[in-house]
Structure 1
Amino acid sequence: MKQNYIPEVTSNLRKNYVKVPEATRLCSGIRIFGKRIKSFIFTTDVAIIKNNNADAVMAVYPFTPQSTITQAILAVSDIPVVCGVGGGLTHGIRSANIALHAEFQGAIGVVLNAPAPHETITHVKQHIDIPVIVTVVSRDADIAGKIAAGADIINVSGGKQTAEIVKVIRAQYPELPIIATGGPTEETVRETVEAGANCITYTPPSNTELFKAKMSIYRMEE
């Protein structure tokens, strides 16, 4: 038997699930509270959260953070969850209070959006005992300022420029934990890992896209 062979056990009803790109396994991962995480699935869809093979969930959405949404996601998820707590319109003490509530509900980390002022990062860091993940979207981001304010992990979401941004940050901070978007293919994920990302976020197809593919199969079988 090959040393790296991994047996897989599944069932007829549960073999259909969202799979993250295999290239995510090439990164080192980030150990959070003893759990090694190499991949985050970027979604708030509870059906997808319940049916995927990622190591964790990154639940960030374009609305004011609400504790009921966090509660619903954590109630469904079988894997660790990090939750968005604002940083744009929602900031300061309000973000800190949302972050504290997310910790109490079981989140293993919180995510602040790119516009978050340093003061908000500090407020959140002072109120919780779980990692503060801060998003950056360009190579001009003040990484030193974010770290000084309390960022534990940097999350790079720079679209097509993500790998280049990761490379710039990694050159300056060799041991900084970096999460980054990996893009849609094995090649783009591999490029981001090689640039220095410790962990990859993967955006899955939407529920509508997944259902469309399944319906096409059903029609062919009729």
Structure 2
Amino acid sequence: MGRYVPEIKGMLRSYIIEIPDVIRQASGIKIFGKVLKSFIFTTDVAVIKNNNADAIMAVYPFTPQPLITQTLVSAADVPVFCGVGGGTTMGKRVANLALDAEFKGAMGVVVNSPTSNEVIRNMRDTIDIPIIVTVVSEYEDIEARINAGTTILNVSGARKTAYIVKKIREKFPDFPIIATGGSTEETIIETIEAGANAITYTPPPIADIFSDTMQRYRLMYENESND
């Protein structure tokens, strides 16, 4: 049996986004002495301040900007891994953004799947923090990614994520892998059993969370009026 873990909450911070407990079954990845098992996928400052994940995966579909990186790192109580391009943003700019992210306190940087191995090598020569490279297909040349200087693979293959993780794990038994876990405990467990060391969790949209809150308020007034 596992040991009992006492839990302490404040009145004002008792309502937070909690990651699924099954993610704790992952082995985790030790980065600069910290074991990270759960990454919450968000750039929302309110979410960043109100969740119980081990780290933040802050990637967005626009051109990365140093001001955004600074804001995200400043808002977080846990390590932040920032997107620095690799899709619409390419070339030397990616390495420059990565260096800037390191200077601003990011624990690691994330690049998208179109990033060339040449850019990854340039980044590896420039920064001293982990380079996380996103993998979206089982047909990608993983060995070339690793040889270029990739530190961690971030598998995001939608329904094929667990399959891709398993294929990578068969060839690279010890290489660090983060992967999307899907929306259910079953898919998260499947991804962990396939070989993922850590899981990224996408929280519900703020609008949905706030909608639930407003509905509770309406019911409260409705119940009071019926008393």
Q: What TM bracket, shorter-length normalisation? A: over 0.9
Report the counterpart of residue 127 of structure 1 in structure 2: 126
Task: Give the secondary-structure state (helix, strand or coil) at the position aligned to 1:133.
Answer: strand
- Please, what TM-score do these two structures have when normalized by structure 2? 0.96
Residues 46-104 of structure 1 deviation map (CA, whole Å, 9 limit, x = unaligned):
00000000000000000000000000001110000000010112122100000000000
Report the counterpart of residue 166 of structure 1 in structure 2: 165
Task: Give the secondary-structure state (helix, strand or coil) at the position aligned to 2:133.
Answer: strand
Following the alignment from structure 1 to structure 2, what is the Cα–Cα distance between the partners of residues 153 and 82?
12
Following the alignment from structure 1 to structure 2, what is the Cα–Cα distance between the partners of residues 116 and 201?
20
Task: Give the secondary-structure state (helix, strand or coil) at the position aligned to 1:164.
Answer: helix
Following the alignment from structure 1 to structure 2, what is the Cα–Cα distance between the partners of residues 135 and 146?
10
Following the alignment from structure 1 to structure 2, what is the Cα–Cα distance between the partners of residues 19 and 3?
20
Following the alignment from structure 1 to structure 2, what is the Cα–Cα distance between the partners of residues 193 and 75?
31
Following the alignment from structure 1 to structure 2, what is the Cα–Cα distance between the partners of residues 48 and 14?
12
Report the counterpart of residue 17 of structure 2 in structure 1: 18
Report the counterpart of residue 206 of structure 1 in structure 2: 205
Instruction: Count residues with an aligned counterpart.
Output: 221
Task: Give the secondary-structure state (helix, strand or coil) at the position aligned to 1:115.
Answer: coil
Report the counterpart of residue 110 of structure 2 in structure 1: 111
Residues 122-176 of structure 1 deviation map (CA, whole Å, 9 limit, x = unaligned):
1111100000000000110110111111101000000011000000000000000
| Over 6 Å off, 4+ runs | none
Q: Does the alignment pair 1:218 with 2:217?
A: yes
Following the alignment from structure 2 to structure 1, what is the Cα–Cα distance between the partners of residues 115 and 178?
17
Question: Shift of the alpha carbon at 1:11?
Answer: 1.9
Residues 15-65 of structure 1 deviation map (CA, whole Å, 9 limit, x = unaligned):
100011111100000000000000000000000000000000000000000
Following the alignment from structure 1 to structure 2, what is the Cα–Cα distance between the partners of residues 24 and 3?
15
Report the counterpart of residue 81 of structure 2 in structure 1: 82
Following the alignment from structure 2 to structure 1, what is the Cα–Cα distance between the partners of residues 185 and 3?
20
Following the alignment from structure 1 to structure 2, what is the Cα–Cα distance between the partners of residues 173 and 120?
22
Task: Give the secondary-structure state (helix, strand or coil) at the position aligned to 2:87.
Answer: coil
Following the alignment from structure 2 to structure 1, what is the Cα–Cα distance between the partners of residues 122 and 60?
21
In the TM superposition, 1:1-222 aligns within 5 A as: 3-222=2-221
Task: Give the secondary-structure state (helix, strand or coil) at the position aligned to 1:166.
Answer: helix
Q: Percent identity?
A: 58
Following the alignment from structure 2 to structure 1, what is the Cα–Cα distance between the partners of residues 4 and 207?
34
Task: Give the secondary-structure state (helix, strand or coil) at the position aligned to 2:89.
Answer: coil
Following the alignment from structure 1 to structure 2, what is the Cα–Cα distance between the partners of residues 204 and 181?
12
Following the alignment from structure 2 to structure 1, what is the Cα–Cα distance between the partners of residues 76 and 163?
32
Question: Shift of the alpha carbon at 1:3?
Answer: 4.7
Question: Shift of the alpha carbon at 1:200?
Answer: 0.2
AA aligned opposite 1:112: V
State which drifts further: 65-74 or 85-94.
Answer: 85-94
Unaligned 5+ runs, structure 1: none
Following the alignment from structure 2 to structure 1, what is the Cα–Cα distance between the partners of residues 95 and 10?
42
Task: Give the secondary-structure state (helix, strand or coil) at the position aligned to 1:154.
Answer: strand
Task: Give the secondary-structure state (helix, strand or coil) at the position aligned to 2:11.
Answer: coil
Task: Give the secondary-structure state (helix, strand or coil) at the position aligned to 2:154.
Answer: strand
Rg (Cα) greater in structure: 2
Task: Give the secondary-structure state (helix, strand or coil) at the position aligned to 1:161.
Answer: helix
